[in-house]
Amino acid sequence: MTFAGSGDAFGSGGRFQACIHLRPAGPPSAGPVLLDCGATSLPALRRCGLDPGGIAAVFVSHLHGDHFGGLPFLILGGQFAGRVSPLVVAGPAGTRQRLGDAMECMFPGSSRVRRRFAVEVTELHPGAPDAVVAGVRTQAFPARHPSGAPALILRLALGGRVIAYTGDTAWTPAIAEAAAGADLLIAEAYYWDKAVPHHLRHADLAVHRDELTARRTVLTHMSADMLGHLEQARYETAHDGLVLQL
Ligand SMILES: [Zn+2]
Ligand SMILES: [Zn+2]
């Protein structure tokens, strides 16, 4: 997996917005897929030498621009590059509408164009039975993060590994549930310990450390404040271009 983008919405530390590339090992049974696709994701992927045209599915944690704003560029880029393989977009309820709105806002007419590849939107619902999206077993949990639609914490099983991803959320026990026994938890750590609404802090993860049973935890989506505390962090931290083998 590659953290193509490990930043917050505002370019803190010169980092790209959320964009995590997952490629299962061995013969391709699934993927590669993205976890979130912030507005800066195309340059982020290309810097890492990753082909946006090869992405089978994008899993969207919630409908904020730094998490889904790259989709219009990914879709139009595929159109102009002659993509033929389908692209699945899996996100919370409301994804179909908001993706269409975003495309129309940025590139009028683009949501109605006939392309050589299908864009298939799958909406994920917390509490629903596991979905299989582009070969990835997917479970959604409710996040606490207002974004005009439900926000999700995701648990994905692909290539024999389980990855949990908080997206953006205030602390909720659903994080521990989603991460239970996972090979990796990718956790937002927006601030070090300052109380900010709707987001996770390093302090929250430290307080709830014993409840988090993932084998490994990596922090992402860090503000300038959190980036100033990297040396004190009790977990591994991501940076743009970080590659992990699970
Ligand atoms: Zn957000
Ligand atoms: Zn965000």
Distance 191 CA to ligand 1 centre (A): 14
- According to DSSP H, which parts of 81-181 are helical? 95-106, 173-179
- According to DSSP H, which parts of 136-180 are helical? 173-179
Q: What is the pLDDT confidence band of residue 232, given thresholds at 50, 70 and 90?
A: very high
Distance 62 CA to ligand 1 centre (A): 7
The C-alpha atoms of residue 185 and residue 18 are separated, in whole angstroms, by 15
CA terminus-to-terminus distance, the chain: 8
Query: Worst-scoring range by mean pLDDT, 1-5, 28-32, 105-109, 136-140?
Result: 28-32
Distance 67 CA to ligand 1 centre (A): 7
Distance 237 CA to ligand 1 centre (A): 19
Among all bound ligands, the one having the nearest atom to the CA of 197 is 1
pLDDT value of residue 30 = 65
Instruction: Kindly report the pTM of this predicted structure.
Output: 0.97
Tell me the two tokens of residue 111: 């949501």
What is the radius of gyration, based on Cα positions, of the chain? Answer: 17
Sign of CA dihedral 224, 230, 236, 240: positive
Reported as a single tens digit per residue, the pLDDT across 33-78 is: 999 999 999 999 999 999 999 999 999 999 999 999 999 999 999 9
Q: What is the mean pLDDT of the chain?
A: 96
Residues with CB under 5 A from ligand 2 (ion): 66, 168
Reported as a single tens digit per residue, the pLDDT across 171-211 is: 999 999 999 999 999 999 999 999 999 999 999 999 999 99
Helix axes 95-106, 71-80, angle to 10 degrees: 70
